[in-house]
Structures are given as structure tokens and as C-alpha cells.
Amino acid sequence: MQLLLLGANHRTADISERELLSFTAESAATTLANLLREAGVIEALLISTCNRVEFYTVTEDTRSAEDAIRRVIRDSKGRDVLSDKLGQYRLCGREAVRHLCRVASGLDSMMLGEKQILGQVKEAVSLARHAGSIGPRLERITSAAARAAKRVHEETGIGAGAVSVASAAVALAVKVVGDLTDRRVLVLGAGETGRLVAKHFTKRSPAALVIASRSLSRAEAAAGEFRCRAISLTDADRVLREVDVVVSATSASEYLISADTVRRLMSARENRPLIIIDIAVPRDVDPGAGRLENVFLHDIDALQSFVEKSRDRRRREIPRAESIIDEETDRLMTWFRELSAVPVIRQLREHFERIREHEVAKSLKHFPSGERRQVENLTRSLINKLLHSPTTRLKAIESGGEADMQRITAVRDLFGLDEAACGRDGSDDEE
């Protein structure tokens, strides 16, 4: 079994390319279900955020799995948009595991050290579970990535003063218009990113803050949190005539604001300047709007320059963070190497021998040496007889098929072999 990663991110593809490849939750679930029907694909995970789209597959043949990924992309998008021209990357085995750990830890993010990406990875895992495409290997891999991320943020300063896309968007707005106390702001989107944007704007005390969402109740919930006004997206055009700054962060699959709409609004606004910061992928605002007079449109890629200054201190934490990721990656790869019958048989016997030695030493410390040897021989014989059948059945496992792996994993779990290897075999649990 091998792990294959095929993807593209903000380093390899610009926003116009990434938005072609992006998946909504619904389309991702369908794509995963289709991918699982392809020959050779045993497990699959799809991570689709504003800065990356990555396919992880467990497979017996990485070339077949790559072909399968391209087929489901063509089925979903009408063509293979994940190509060399777009700037794809392809990683296998340990390097794919290590990459996911870096992603979850925020080391591969546009905003170095951001914590929001871990939540997005967990959401992708939850979606894959719902689609039935994730199994024991990817469960273990994603758990290792989450553990690495937790350690990186607890044991290093990589997240100290880290900026998110949301805070960078607000910083850009402040740089363009200055003090916000006499400015009116509209946030399109009441999801996690939209709420973060509103939270950062609230700290700047704008003259007015409005949150818009397709779901008015969702907008009202966010507005209640930040004590501002809520509207439905259908009323956004009217509010756009009044505001000075717009930040858009929805999950819409097509433009919410067209260039023609902005042209009409600018006429109604008597051409007062309008700053639009579109951090959605796919984009919410037609790029053509940015060519209109007094319209200053910025997309998510434009935020890069606003985070460079704050990165220097966090960059110094990268070596320690990378070391943690290597530790967790090595730990996981060791676990995978031990997913064969021989190491499990050895660990199982060592586990029972430790318990036997402990109990004999505790119970027979006052026995004469001759009687103690007899008990030693008896208990060893008993352990051998008890383990004969499990050992025979484990030796019959070929180690490679899904059923074989599940059986080996079950043995490791039932007898706590992973815990025993860490010195927590529970030999003192029962007196």
C-alpha cells in the first residue's frame, strides 16, 4: 500500500487557476465517492481551501491512482485542470505524510503559522468520513498531522503574532483608507472566515459594520456576536451604495458582484471611492470591476505583501517546527512498517512476556529457587499455548490486503501493543 498526494497551492498556481480547481463541500463529497469507485483507489481525502487543492489516496499503484484522480477531475470540471501547466506537485509515501503535517501546522500556508488550516483539514476528514472514502490508513495519517500541528503550536512560537487571511484583509483595508472610525464596512459571508473578518474590523471601530449572508439567520447570529447590522445577500446591492469598504468571503461558486453591477453602483455613489477586498476562492467579485474608475479591487493573492514583515520572527521558529514534523512523520512511518505479521507477533509475545515476568516476580519473590523455576516453566508453557492459535493465524496473514491490515490493526489495538511499546502495558492495572 502506498500514499499518493497530487495537488496545487498558492505557490504553484495563481488565484485564476486555483478557482478552476476548487471544490465545494457537496462537489468534494461527490468527487470522493467517484474516486473510490476507481480501480486501485482504496482510500481518498480531498482538501480544498482558498490556497490549495490536494488529493490524498491510499493505493496499490500510484500511477493508476493518479490517472483515477485526473479522470474524476475531468468528470467534475469538464477537463483536467490539475496539470503540469497549472503547477501541480506529486508526492508519495513519507514525503506525502510530511507535507500533510506541514499543511496542518501552518508551515505551508500563505500566512505562516496560521491555525485556521488545521480546522479546514479536520473538516476535510469529516467530509471524507461522510463520503465513506477514508479508512484506517488515512485516519492514522491525519491523526498524526493533527498531533504534529498541536505540538508545533504548543512547543514553538510559529503562531505568535501570526496573521490570518482575515486579519491581512483588514490590514490592507486600513492601509488603503486609513482610520476606519468614519468609514462604513460591508462583510459578505458569515462563515468562519467572514466572522474572523468582522472580528478584526470590530477592533478598528468602523462607523458602521454590516454582515451579509445568503442565510439571514446566519448573518443575524454573526451580527449579534459583533453588535452590528445583518442583511441578506439579496439586499447587498443597496448597502453597497453606502459603504466605503467591502470584504467578500463567501463559498459561492460564481460571481456575486458583476462588473456591470459595480458600474451602476458607482454612478449612484457619485463615483465615491470603493475598496473591495475579495478573499474568496472562487472569487466573489468579477475582476473586471477593478478596472473601473475609483474602484480598488484586491484578491487574496494581493495580501501576500502584507504578511511579509510579520513573518520574520516566526521564520526563526521553522527549524524547531520542522524537527517536530520529522519526529511525528518518523513515528507514523514506523507504525506503518510494523503493520505486518512478523513485528506484531514479536510485539505480542514481548507484551505477554513482560506481564508474565512482572507477575511472577511480584508473587514468587519469597519462593525457593527450585519452586520458582517450576513456576517459571509452567507460566512460559501456558503463555506459549495461549498464543499458539493467534500466532498461527497471524503468520497466515499476507499483509497487504485491506482485510489483513484491519486484522493486524485490531490485534495491535485489542492488546494495546502501541501503548506497550511506550512502556504503558497496563501490567499494574489489576492486582
Residue 295 lies in a domain: yes
3-state SS assignment for residue 93: helix
- Of 287, 306, 325, the residue at which a domain comes to its end is 306
Q: Please check whether residues 273 and 288 belong to one and the same domain.
A: yes
Domain count, the chain: 3
Reported as a single tens digit per residue, the pLDDT across 104-162 is: 999 999 889 988 899 999 999 999 999 999 998 999 999 999 999 999 999 999 887 76
Residue 106 lies in a domain: yes
Residue 108: other Cβ atoms inside 10 A: 19
Q: Please check whether residues 178 and 197 belong to one and the same domain.
A: yes
User: In 3D, which of 231, 263, 71, 57 has the Cα closest to residue 141?
Assistant: 57
C-alpha–C-alpha distance, residues 312 and 295, integer Å: 32
Report the DSSP pairing between strands 2-9 and 89-92: antiparallel
Residue 61 lies in a domain: yes
Type of residue found at 333? M
Residue 128 lies in a domain: yes
Which of 131-135, 178-182, 342-346 comes out lowest in average pLDDT? 342-346
Residue 136 lies in a domain: yes
Residue 431 lies in a domain: no
| pLDDT greater than 70 at residue 410 | yes
Residue 399 lies in a domain: yes
Q: Note the pTM of the prediction, 2 decimals.
A: 0.73
User: In 3D, which of 3, 362, 300 has the Cα closest to residue 165?
Assistant: 300
Quick one: CA dihedral 127, 130, 135, 136, positive or negative? positive
Which of 165-169, 304-308, 388-392 comes out lowest in average pLDDT? 304-308
Reported as a single tens digit per residue, the pLDDT across 300-321 is: 988 876 666 667 778 889 999 9
CATH of the domain at 189: 3.40.50.720
Q: Please check whether residues 38 and 97 belong to one and the same domain.
A: yes
Q: Please check whether residues 264 and 118 belong to one and the same domain.
A: no
Q: Are 103 and 52 in contact (CB under 8 A)?
A: yes
Q: Please check whether residues 171 and 293 belong to one and the same domain.
A: yes
Mean pLDDT score, 396-400: 59
| pLDDT greater than 70 at residue 233 | yes
Label residue 216 by pLDDT band (50, 70, 90).
very high
Residue 87 lies in a domain: yes
- Whole-number pLDDT of residue 426: 46
Mean pLDDT score, 407-411: 79
Catalytic residues, which ones? 50
User: In 3D, which of 411, 343, 344, 399 has the Cα closest to residue 1?
Assistant: 399
Read off the C-alpha cell for 75. 468528470
Domain that holds residue 246: 165-306
Label residue 7 by pLDDT band (50, 70, 90).
very high
C-alpha–C-alpha distance, residues 342 and 197, integer Å: 54
Q: Please check whether residues 157 and 170 belong to one and the same domain.
A: no
Q: Please check whether residues 189 and 212 belong to one and the same domain.
A: yes
pLDDT > 70 in the chain, percent: 92
- Whole-number pLDDT of residue 377: 87
3-state SS of 139-150 is: HHHHHHHHHHHH
C-alpha–C-alpha distance, residues 52 and 272, integer Å: 35
- Whole-number pLDDT of residue 430: 38
Report the DSSP pairing between strands 184-188 and 208-213: parallel
Q: Please check whether residues 85 and 210 belong to one and the same domain.
A: no
Q: Are 288 and 265 in contact (CB under 8 A)?
A: no
Q: Please check whether residues 275 and 202 belong to one and the same domain.
A: yes
- Whole-number pLDDT of residue 295: 96
Q: Please check whether residues 291 and 358 belong to one and the same domain.
A: no
Q: Please check whether residues 110 and 22 belong to one and the same domain.
A: yes
